[in-house]
């Protein structure tokens, strides 16, 4: 996950999440399982799945340096933006809270559906 030689990360190349997760999660037309699966596949392919699904015990990667911590924070904000961009405004208003981490938003959505 962390590479001290470069801060480039595949998740940072995604300019429009809607090209990859084309479903908008809505309360009226509930497609949570489909949305969640597409989202997880995208997160896994861009090496940020651990921002929404906790790694298995003993497999956690804890950022050590300031550069790693900054990259982790940037990636978490990126995943959070992906979540917010693929849900309806009604659901966004339901789960939106200041200083939220991606996993917290992911878990709130899971709890709703």
Above pLDDT 70, what percent of the chain? 94
Q: What is the pTM of this model?
A: 0.88
Residue 1 has pLDDT above 70, yes or no: no
In whole angstroms, give the CA distance from residue 70 to residue 51.
14
Mean pLDDT for 68-77 is 95
Q: Is the torsion defined by CA of 27, 29, 33, 38 positive or negative?
A: negative
Alpha carbon distance 102, 76 (integer Å): 6
Which sequence spans correspond to the domains of the chain?
A: 15-20+70-113
CA distance 82 to 43: 10
Q: Which residues contact 71 (CB under 8 A, 6 or more apart)?
A: 2, 7, 9, 63
Average pLDDT over residues 1-6: 48
Mean pLDDT of the residues in the chain: 91
**Span 52-57, average pLDDT:** 90
pLDDT in tens, 88-112: 999 999 999 999 999 999 999 999 9
Does residue 84 have a pLDDT over 90?
A: yes
């Amino acid at each position: 996950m962390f590479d001290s030689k470069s801060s480039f990360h595949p998740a940072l190349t995604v300019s429009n999440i809607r090209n990859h997760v084309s479903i908008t999660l809505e309360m009226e037309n509930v497609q949570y399982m489909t949305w969640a699966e597409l989202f997880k596949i995208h997160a896994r392919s861009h090496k940020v799945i651990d921002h929404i699904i906790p790694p298995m015990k003993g497999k956690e990667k804890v950022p050590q340096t300031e550069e790693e911590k900054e990259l982790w924070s940037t990636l978490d904000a990126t995943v959070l933006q992906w979540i917010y961009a693929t849900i309806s405004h009604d659901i966004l208003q339901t789960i939106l809270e200041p200083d939220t981490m991606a996993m917290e938003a992911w878990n709130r959505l899971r709890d709703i559906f």
